[in-house]
Structures are given as structure tokens and as C-alpha cells.
Structure 1
Amino acid sequence: MTPQTEDHLAEIIRGANAPVAVRGGATRHHPGDGEALSTAGLSGITLYEPGALTLVARAGTPMAEIEAALAAENQRLPFEPMDYRTLLGTEGAPTIGGAVAMNVSGPRRVQAGACRDSLIGVRFVDGTGTVVKNGGRVMKNVTGYDLVKLLAGSRGSLGVLTEVAFKVLPAAEDAACVLVAGLDLPQAVAAMSRALGSPYEVSGAAHVPVGLDGAPVTMLRVEGLAASVAYRAGALRDLMAPFGPAEIETRSGAEGGPGVQTGWAWIRDAAMFAGTDEDVWRIHCRPSHAAELAARTGSDRLLLDWGGGLIWVGLPAGTDLRARLADFAGHATRMRGEGPGARPQQPAPVAALEGAIREKFDPKGLFRGTA
């Protein structure tokens, strides 16, 4: 099913009596249960006002189209969405609606917030076939119940998104990355915490225990006007002195590296796991717990992002990471591989609350199988 209009989609939902599995660009590997319902026909940018930093697009609009339109005006999405095709080896085209449904947020989350923090309005069709609108098309008009935040990250379980509205930001004139080599996990988390707590507006903080050259590397990114980037990168390098020698890599890689853009795309897309046969898990946790949890995984195939708040883990196929981690303040999700853990596991009170919300939005249970 590929509706071409919002009214057609609402008609399909009203007539449905069996589960449907909502699809955007089909770039994720969990197919869900039920007949596929694609938003690909709901495509196109409906409003873009660069002067107002506002963009509105239908949910099935390819991310590449969004990014091209913004780049033409020297602007960007604040939340740096990951491209799952690198990790999962899938095809298709990522869509803006899929990014919202999964709350896809990249390394810049530590500075600019998650996808939901840039989202200012949504339109969607709920499980009764009712078209619901919440928020607005400009930042000052976000009013009423905050269904905007509720829909972001709901994984298509509350309704089918048809249109989304975002605040956008100017693109950075320049970028640099401060690299600190040789830190163990506790040292790396401490270094990232110190950098993120500094006044130097760090827009990315990541650590790889086994880098491309086999040695640990901690990466700290700054972005903005060229003069500001040069000053902040130098000050950040000096701030890292207690952790060992640090060097600065520029946007172009002029100092011998591959360049800031390439390096952070590698972090954003968890590219170190591309093309391998291992299972890949994603842990959301408190950064202060990152070193301990990383050690509990029993793996050296690790990538820490968000200053330690996000941990990617590669494990042998079939490994149940949740059993190794036991209880902790966060959750672990299997992103690649077969077995349990493909959906976030919530504490019982949160799960009960989510169930009650889904019952209101989807009384027929049409979206229960959507991944």
C-alpha cells in the first residue's frame, strides 16, 4: 500500500482491520509484522523559508532532497541524522519521516539536541483514521499538547506521519577536531566530560578503543566561524593537556588526517561495523556509567559517542548483550542480527504508560507490529 495523499492514507487506515507495518525508505532491517504501508507517495517539500529557518516536508521526502535544499541556502538540519544503510547494508532512501519516527540523532546531539528538539510541528493519521495536526510551521506557533515530542521516537506505533516541520540552522563555516590518542575508557570518558563542560562549544565527543591504526583515539569537534574554530580548537587542545598530547585535524585534513567531515560521518554511521558478520548493539546510558558498561560487554569492538552516552558494541552472532549488562539506568537495543532485543526494553511503569497511550491512539492495534 502506497497512498499518494493524506486523505487516501486516512481512508486506508479507517478500513484496516489487521496490522500494518509502516515504511519510510525501508533502510532499516526490522520489517515488522503486517502488510507494508509505505509513505513513499507522500513526498515533497511543502514550505521552506530560509530567512525564518523553517522547513516543512511530507514524511516520505528523501533525506537527500531535504539536505540538498538546505545546502543550497547554506543551512542544515541541526541533529545530524545517521544513515543506517552503512551499518545495515540495506538499500532504499532514508526519509525525513523515518528520521522523526526513530528520533534519529547523530554526534551533534550533545550540542544541538535530538531530532525531536528541532521538530516544531507534525501531521499524522492515527489508528482510527483521523488526521491529527499538532505544533506549527514557525517556531513561535508551537502550541497545545506536545504530540510533536510524543511522535518523535514512537517508531510508527501511534500513527503514520504525513508531514513534519523543523527549525533549521545555518551551516558551519569551518570545523576542526582535537584528537587525543592512547586513553583507556575511564580516561576517555573523563576527557570528553571535561571538553563538553568547557565553554568551547564542543559539537561532537567520541572515543574508539581500537582506531584505524589500532590505537585508542578520542575525538572532540568544534564548528562555527573560521576564526572562532581556530581559537576554540587551540584552547581545547590545551585543556586536554592533562590527558596527554593532542593534535588538531582540520576540515580538509590539511594536517595529514582524512578531514573532519569524513571522520565524523564514520562516527555518525557506525561505519566501523560495516561489512562484518557480527551482531551490533546500541546502548543508551549515563555518560558517567559508560566505562563500566563498556567493560561489561566483554567486547573490544566498541564505539562511544555523545560523550559516552551512546555506546555501539559488536559481538558474535546470537549474543544476548542484555544478559551481560544486567540492570542499569538506560537500555540496550540490537540494531543488527537475529534474536531478542530489537526494540528498547522499558521499565514496567514506563511500559504501562506507553501501552495506555498506544491504546488511545491505536485502539484497533494496527501499528503494534511496526518496528
Structure 2
Amino acid sequence: MKKHNFSAGPSILPEFTIKKTAEAVLDFAGTGLSVMEVSHRDKEFMAVMAQANALVKELLEVPSGYEVLFLGGGASMQFCMVPYNFLNKKAAYLNTGTWASKALKEAKFFGEVVEVASSKDENFCYIPKNYEIPSDADYFHITTNNTIFGTEIRTDLDVNVPLIADMSSDIFSRPVDVSKYALIYGGAQKNLAPAGVAFVIVKEDALGKVDRPIPTMLNYRTHMENESMFNTPPVLPIFSALQTLIWLKEQGGVKEMEKRNIRKADILYSEIERNKLFKTTVKNVEDRSLMNICFVMNEEYKELENEFKNFAIANGMVGIKGHRSVGGFRASTYNALPEESVKALVAAMQEFERKY
């Protein structure tokens, strides 16, 4: 039976990425060695790093004056690195969920943090609007996609202070106007590569504004000056990331990904709205994520939740159980998930509906 991988992360990767990585694990670039055992400073891996860097810039049309970094520690390390490098006196954060809350918490170690708005009052099921950003904030931090609660900011905001975004789970899913951001970061394990590496896109002249000394490893300039090679980088995930970037370009780039993602989301959201057994957890259509589609049983069918989960699993669905803070179900529809998997889930929902 074909498996349909809706896991939120680590998540589905393109078959191309998996195949090429598997080949390189056995023999990397004709060296007779595994990619897991070569030196990161050998010319073969240096070429991987350079090509991955160039493809990120090409796919996202990164303007001059920005650098792309591949770092260890995942997005959670960036919760600390961002304020270390950017927060001099005050920072502003938009609180839209678990990861935004964690980023905000870390920033408080470095200075005053203003929570400009929060959707916690309704269990993070909407994106706050009409908030004010302090004009004296050193930066404004947002989390563009919220994997747990199923909301997403799908536009590039115009703000009056430097904008920083955690794009862990929706990077490369749509075109991004990078020029509007001082820094974009994210963990790779949602839409790019296996867990173990984080990507950073940083505006060079946005750095150097804090008074504090910054530890070497936590200073973005360290990694810029050493082309992500100051210490041993996560070699295998970076190699896999390159394969995904190659695949993305071959598929038509981020504009094509956006078209596919909108189509997949429309198919599933339409079924959730139609099917009498289910309802979405995000009421505002404009706030609904294209990457993580959350839904629950309608109240009168609540007792069928576990039965549907088992039914879906029996029909090849993997990873659709919702996060414990939301309950219900979550279908993560990242770039690599084919439309046929979404249609298979819809078919399972319809078959289950016919039973009841």
C-alpha cells in the first residue's frame, strides 16, 4: 500500500532528494567515500555548499547585500542568535503560536520585549491584525507559518523597523520579497532537508548595531566571513538540501510551488467545509495555512475521532494526528507532498462519512 506522508516535521522529502542522498551515502561525487565521512573542506563538498548557497539566492531572488548561511542548532538556536545580534534595547514580537512564544521567551534574556499582539486568547487560531509596532524597536519578529495551529502569514509585511521572520515551515512554498527582511531563518526539516541544519538569509548592513560582545559561534559575522565553514557544518543535511533545491528549480521554482500548494489546500479545505463530520480550526480563510491544515470532528461526531484516525492509517495516511494542544487532525501539505496524497485523504474522509 502506498503511504501518504502528512507528518509535520521531520516530513516528506522529494523522492529525488531521498534517492540522491542515498546514492551519496554510498559514494559521494565519485570519491569512493560516503558523504558522511568526507572532509567538509574537500573540494567536492565545498562545491555542494557553494551550489546550495547560489540556488537559495536564485530561487528566492535574494538581492545583493544579503548572505545565505547553513548553521547547526536548528531554528531553536536562532531564537537566541537573533536577539544576540539584533536586540540592543527593545524588540517587538508577534505571538501567533508555540514557536513564536518560544522565540519571544528567549529574546527576553537580552532586553525589553514588546508583545505587539497575540492570538492566544483563541488558542492561536487566527493571525492578529491592526497592532502597533514601537517605532524605537530594534526589530519586529514574526513566525510566518504555525505548524501546530494551522495559521499562516502569506504576505510580506511592510513595517517601519527591521523585519525578522522564522520561515521554518513555509520557506520555498511561495515567492518572498527578501528585500523587506533584515533576516529570514528556519529549520530545514519541514520543506528542505532532514533535521540538523538551519538556513539563514541575513542582510549584511543590518548587523553590528548592538553594544554587547557576541560569542564567536553565535555571531552571524563569524559564519558570513567563513562561508558557513567556521566549524564543521551538518554535511549530510546540507547535501540533501542541495538536492531539494535542484528539484525545486526543475519543478519550476517557488511560483510553481505556490500554485501547487494553493491547489492542494483548496482541495482539502473544500472537503472539510463540505463534509458533515469535520470542521476547520481556523475560521478566517485568509489566515489558513497552506502548509499545515488543521481540522477536528464536529461536536456531534467527536466520539468518532479515534476511529477515523485508525481508518485513515489503515488507508495509508501517515502523521495526520493533530498536535495535543489542538487535537483532531493535521495534514501537512509541504512542497514535496503530491496532490494524489491530498486526494487520497479526501477519499478516505468521504468513505468514512458514508459509513455514518
TM-score range, shorter chain: under 0.3
Kindly indicate whether structure 1 or structure 2 has the higher relative contact order, using CA contacts under 8 Å at least 6 residues apart: 2
- For normalisation by structure 1, the TM-score amounts to 0.22
- For normalisation by structure 2, the TM-score amounts to 0.23
Structure that is richer in helix per residue: 2
